[in-house]
Amino acid sequence: MVIKKLTILIVDDDPSIGIVLQQAFQRLGYNSLIAENFSIALTLLTQYNISLIITDIMMPDTSGFDFIDQLKKYEPNIPIIAISALSTLSTTVEIEKKKVLDYFPKSFNLEALTNSVQQVLQLQKTVSYNFKVLKENESLPLVGQSKVMQKLYRMIARLMCSDLTVVISGESGTGKELVAKILHQYGNQKKFKFNVLNLAILTDDKIEKKLINFQSNIISNQINNISEHEKFGTLFLDDISELSLLAQTHLLKFLEKDFSLSSNKEIKPRIIASSKKNLQELVKKGLFREDLYYFLNIASLHLPPLRERKEDIPLLIQHFLKNNPEKIYFSEQAMTYLINYAWPGNIRELNNIIKRLTILYPYQMIQVEFVKKILHDSIRIDNEVSSLLPLSKIVENHLYRYFIENKGQPISNLYNKIIAEVEFPLIKLVLSETDSNQVKAASMLGINRNTLRKKMKNYNLLEGNKRK
């Protein structure tokens, strides 16, 4: 069987560059043609099946940018790699606007350029992920067809046309404020104003002042003749679990007030609160007022984390990309990796990752290597956020990534490996905290001294930690 070679068109008026590239591509098993000006290049395009074009930007007959525009009209999907001796910022910006796949300033690294060519041509053979048809006629800005989302939709529909106080719970990034806005915009209060009070960023005294201002505004709305959309409709209390006990007292006093005036009975503002933590557990621990909890928790909605609705991830990605001017493709392996990732930051993290992928790899099929790199960088950048998570959640996310990275590989002795990863830094830090006093360290850890010494020996911690 004869295997047809792919053909690369090299457009450059410098014969030495054309010959060097032609020889390099021949060694890699590709055919290549050389055009010394753009007129010849356009003629060759009509005569041969060109798989990729490498073009200089500075040519004698016309501008390389105009040539790229002509190419896009003739064959809009043909991959283009640009090279140029004008290695300036303005040149780079202009090339980026032309949406070429890659750019190499002269004198370029031959290995880097040939690697880029191979990647581009390999992508043409890669099977892309086949998205299902996404119905865009939905009026509500919620995406998902999983069972947990269908259950959530039914609960939201029941609460839309009531004025019940609602507590929306869920991890960070699951869309709590979005659901609160839906309850407002499609409910009885839709003609009035949606007000947000971000409790996590306010001090106790500022929270009290904000609530006093809200109180006066609500009463003022009933007295003064103002437009409906300026009237107080819904108060969204964001991150209510972060309130101190003093701030909780201020909030309870505010909520218990009757804002209706005898001469002008108005709809009482609807209260919607959100929480990242389990309020019932906080009540048991004495960290949240029981009376405030029962006042707020008339109706509740729980938003599932993204890892519990993985089948919705392709739909969410489609939704995020619907306004993207360029068609973006994902390889099957890349989509599988995205679906199986733990997503500790949930929908917000997924949205940010997709934005970064489309910015960094705008005209290429998204490969699994790109996804891994972006997620690795994201984990490194978001260390501060991760440090706020409970230890069990950090370990869970670590294990999710471990299983994804080692999918299909033999795994053994996992229990001991994970225990060692946690135990080693624990013992090391406790010894540092107790100034290497093993008696105090053993007491702090809740184990006997002999056990501690055995573990120190296993982890090579005896040296440098004198016996005390």
What single string gives the DSSP state of each residue in 231-289? SEEEEEEETGGG--HHHHHHHHHHHTS---BTTB--PPPEEEEEESS-HHHHHHTTSS-
Which mean pLDDT values do the consecutive 10-residue runs of the chain (468 residues) have? 70 89 90 89 88 86 82 81 80 78 82 85 68 55 86 88 90 92 86 85 84 74 54 85 89 77 56 92 91 92 93 91 78 89 90 87 77 74 52 70 61 79 87 86 90 87 64
Contact 271, 255 (CB under 8 A): yes
Tokens of 287: 């960290």
Q: Residue 302: its pLDDT value, please?
A: 94
Which residues, in sequence order, are CB contacts of 54 under 8 Å at separation 6+? Answer: 8, 9, 10, 11, 12, 21, 80, 81, 82, 83, 113, 117
Which residues, in sequence order, are CB contacts of 45 under 8 Å at separation 6+? Answer: 9, 71, 74, 75
What are φ and ψ of residue 361, in 5° steps? -130, 65
Question: Side by side, which strands form the sheet with 31-35?
Answer: 31-35, 7-11, 52-56, 80-84, 102-105
Give the pLDDT confidence of 268-307 residue by residue, as tens digits.
778 999 999 899 999 998 999 999 999 998 999 999 999 9
Question: Which pTM value belongs to this model?
Answer: 0.65
Q: Residue 303: its pLDDT value, please?
A: 94
Domains of the chain (ranges, CATH numbers): 7-123 (3.40.50.2300), 148-304 (3.40.50.300), 307-405 (1.10.8.60), 414-458 (1.10.10.60)
d(CA 44, CA 26): 19
d(CA 169, CA 293): 13
Which run of H or of E encompasses 386?
helix 383-386
d(CA 134, CA 120): 28
